[in-house]
Chains A and B, each alone.
Chain A
């Protein structure tokens, strides 16, 4: 955790700000164009979920170093209603937004590590990591 920055999510504009922050960080860590796009899409999806379901929350971007490997960590947290059935939202074909969102399984695929902690009525924290290869 050498570097940390964050964006509060209130409006759709903040989603763009979170994307920009993530892309800059990914670029400076040394991720290629394709991985930058993947990381940014993951941030976008997580920020959108906050905007749509929790109303407000926060996206943190961290530079990660572990086991001689550099990586990027995204922490999306909110104090929204929480996810009733985490297993269900992780299933393919289940999209709460009903739109063309990649949803949680998409974010998991775009990143290397993925963790959801959610408590109903308390909020949700999602942590996702991608390692530089």
Chain B
């Protein structure tokens, strides 16, 4: 125990006993910070107090000093609780640091290159609700004949979702060289997920592929949200959905594949449920709201459309996202 601190404490107590001024109490309060800095435990504080008083009042009755011994005994567990608390805080700081690193690793893992196309404009945006995302957007393309996108959503958030997601990435990477059709991709990824993921993890995934030849967009869905197709000619929305179980439920699940033809000005909005299940104070938003937003920006670039949806839905919930938020836009037509 540092003797200097003891001396200073005794002087402070003595001064207060003589003046009883608020000023000296304030000095004591400030002094207590030094105790904390020096990690002097509560029982030690009582010990220091006792020694100070023994010097200041040597004639006090013996029983009086014994009462301090009792108090010291009482404080031991408080001291331990404090130390445990401090050690838990340090552990938490370590965890937060690890999370930051994990976030960086994930960001590297998540990197995907947006294909560049002359007759298809692509825009996308993905924002995690917490540090780690359970949404996954991945593009595959040869930049001349086709452009594909996978939009996956791991049910759940945070680290478990992020770990699970990295596996989908490896599944997708395996298919990079092949120009596979959507139902084949889901088939393969489903088997990988089924084999390696815990039973409590489910992943929804939409896979869409645009082919320049014929302007055909073919797609398959593993229990994912229907995507929205905007038809410029009729100024209407059509929901695109295809039958298929969530990934990881059954090893031999089959996925239906469908296709539509895109005309000039048409666009497809693929979203995760962080978008469609935007929650405001009044509850979940109406699907119509998303369509309304999309309509107002239908003539803008694909990226502008994606950004606007995030901006407006974000504002509705004060940018306090409840779930990871991802949106991909495929727009037929020359770029703005």
Contact B84 A41 (CB under 8 A): no
Q: In the assembly, what is the distance between CA of A109 and CA of B91, in Å?
A: 17
Among B43, B44, B46, B50, the one with the most A-chain Cβ atoms within 10 Å of its Cβ is B43
Tell me whether B87 is interfacial, beta carbon within 8 Å. Answer: yes
CB proximity of A105 to chain B, nearest CB, Å? 7
Query: Which of A9-17, A29-37, A57-65 binds B?
Result: A29-37
Q: In the assembly, what is the distance between CA of A40 and CA of B47, in Å?
A: 16
CB proximity of A130 to chain B, nearest CB, Å? 13
Q: In the assembly, what is the distance between CA of A34 and CA of B88, in Å?
A: 25
Residues of chain B lying within 8 A (CB to CB) of residue A38? 43, 76
Interface string of B15-49 (1 = CB under 8 A from A): 00000000000000000000000000001101100
Q: In the assembly, what is the distance between CA of A105 and CA of B87, in Å?
A: 11
Q: In the assembly, what is the distance between CA of A32 and CA of B76, in Å?
A: 14
Shortest Cβ distance from A107 into B: residue? B80
Contact A34 B77 (CB under 8 A): no
Residues of chain A lying within 8 A (CB to CB) of residue B72? 33-34, 37
Tell me whether A112 is interfacial, beta carbon within 8 Å. Answer: no
Among B47, B76, B84, the one with the most A-chain Cβ atoms within 10 Å of its Cβ is B76
Interface string of B78-90 (1 = CB under 8 A from A): 0010011001100
Tell me whether A121 is interfacial, beta carbon within 8 Å. Answer: no
Tell me whether A46 is interfacial, beta carbon within 8 Å. Answer: no
Contact B44 A34 (CB under 8 A): yes
Among A34, A38, A105, the one with the most B-chain Cβ atoms within 10 Å of its Cβ is A34
Tell me whether B264 is interfacial, beta carbon within 8 Å. Answer: no
Contact partner, B43, options A34, A105, A106, Cβ 8 Å: A34
Contact partner, A32, options B47, B73, B77, B91, Cβ 8 Å: B47
Interface residues on chain A, size class: 10 to 19
Interface string of B44-68 (1 = CB under 8 A from A): 1011001000000000000000001
Q: In the assembly, what is the distance between CA of A58 and CA of B163, in Å?
A: 49
Residues of chain B lying within 8 A (CB to CB) of residue A34? 43-44, 46-47, 72
Contact A37 B69 (CB under 8 A): yes
21 A-B residue contacts at CB 8 Å? A32-B47, A33-B47, A33-B50, A33-B68, A34-B72, A37-B69, A37-B76, A38-B76, A40-B73, A41-B73, A41-B76, A41-B77, A92-B84, A92-B87, A93-B84, A93-B88, A100-B77, A102-B80, A105-B87, A106-B77, A109-B80
Residue positions of A touching B, CB distance < 8 A: 32-34, 37-38, 40-41, 92-93, 100, 102, 105-106, 109-110
Residue positions of B touching A, CB distance < 8 A: 43-44, 46-47, 50, 68-69, 72-73, 76-77, 80, 83-84, 87-88, 91
